[in-house]
Structure 1
């Protein structure tokens, strides 16, 4: 069986977003793990409309070519790391819309989360966990939170230092996140293959 493919999704599309910085750091860490293949997935590259399909693709095939392109990319992946800000105690609207634009492509795949901002994006992270459960995903336990002094050290409106400057605080959590994500990605990839074989 091929290595699991992990997509690292930048959850904000704002011109002044911070998320690209920790996402690239996480991509670098994940790329060092021989058990997986990794890819950065930027919502800016997909020009997704607001959800306007007749129904979720759990019930009816989507029609918009932009949505179909997004679904194909998500379908290629075996697991995800979501990098999310916290906007008014939840996730960015662009990320929620992207999650809603697919359904079956998320199913039975693990989800890990890196949150940043007020209290490390903790409330957005917990909201995102509940969304992934509804999408039949497997949220892993360990999460990376960038908050407080660490956030202002690396944020472009603060110290603007590289993420490596705070690895002493968040590095171990990131490795635990990857350990759990890889374990679940291998397990669910095999499970999906078995289910598909049974259906055929």
Structure 2
């Protein structure tokens, strides 16, 4: 398989690490939707499974001189992606600490790649969290390719435990298609296809 034959890799990041988080079934739905879209190879990156410690590297991440095995492993994971979709909650009008910690662990691994924000919450649908997140992503030289706000997301989740399923409203599906089209377009524009 040549580089031209490879589809770009989209990583769907589950930002919440709480037990019973609604972000997990949303991420599984979005990953499946993205696979059906057929522009990407897709994998889910769950921050609860990554389980990063609070950032404690002695040097700034822009140098990439990591000393901790957890940072090295996370760096290798994020570096192989061509694009991201961050499935994030809203806590106290912002995004959650586990996501900020994960972002702050790295630098060049994020840079120059497109990202979509899949926010969820109550009436605000994660919009205030997305608003707080955008300047952080721009500072890392990422391209924000769009957002899918999901209001009252818990109402669209059925089932129990690992079998929980998110059933999107039609406007959520339309938003998902829009951000996937945007991510695909930016991957092509930025020349990221086949970097792995």
Does the Cα contact within 8 Å between 1:108 and 1:192 map onto a contact in 2?
Answer: no
Question: In the aligned structure 2, how far is the partner of 1:192 from the partner of 1:73?
Answer: 15
Map of 1:17 onto structure 2: 21
Map of 2:49 onto structure 1: 45
1:74-85 correspondence runs (5 A): 74-85=78-89
Map of 1:131 onto structure 2: 136
Map of 2:7 onto structure 1: 3
1:35 aligns with 2:42: no
Task: Kindly indicate which of the two structures has a greater share of residues assigned to strand.
Answer: 2
Question: In the aligned structure 1, how far is the partner of 2:174 from the partner of 2:79?
Answer: 30
Map of 2:161 onto structure 1: none
Q: TM-score, normalising length from structure 2?
A: 0.88
Map of 1:182 onto structure 2: 184
Map of 2:174 onto structure 1: 172
- Which SS does the other structure have where 2:141 is aligned? coil
Q: Any gaps of 5 or more consecutive residues in structure 2?
A: 159-163
Map of 1:153 onto structure 2: 155
Write out the 4+ residue segments of structure 1 that deviate beyond 3 Å after TM superposition.
Answer: 189-193
Does the Cα contact within 8 Å between 1:4 and 1:186 map onto a contact in 2?
Answer: no
Q: What count of residue pairs does the alignment treat as equivalent? A: 187
Q: CA offsets per residue over residues 39-83 of structure 1, 9 Å max, x none? A: 011112222110111232213511100011001000000010000
Q: CA deviation at 1:129?
A: 1.3
Task: Kindly indicate which of the two structures has a greater share of residues assigned to helix.
Answer: 1
Q: TM-score, normalising length from structure 1?
A: 0.86
Find the partner of 1:92 among 96, 103, 115. 96
Does the Cα contact within 8 Å between 2:7 and 2:194 map onto a contact in 1?
Answer: no
Map of 1:72 onto structure 2: 76
Does the Cα contact within 8 Å between 1:78 and 1:189 map onto a contact in 2?
Answer: no
Q: CA offsets per residue over residues 55-112 of structure 1, 9 Å max, x none? A: 3221351110001100100000001000000011111100110000111100100010
Question: In the aligned structure 1, how far is the partner of 2:157 from the partner of 2:93?
Answer: 19
Q: Any gaps of 5 or more consecutive residues in structure 1?
A: 194-200
- Which SS does the other structure have where 1:58 is aligned? helix
- Which SS does the other structure have where 1:113 is aligned? strand
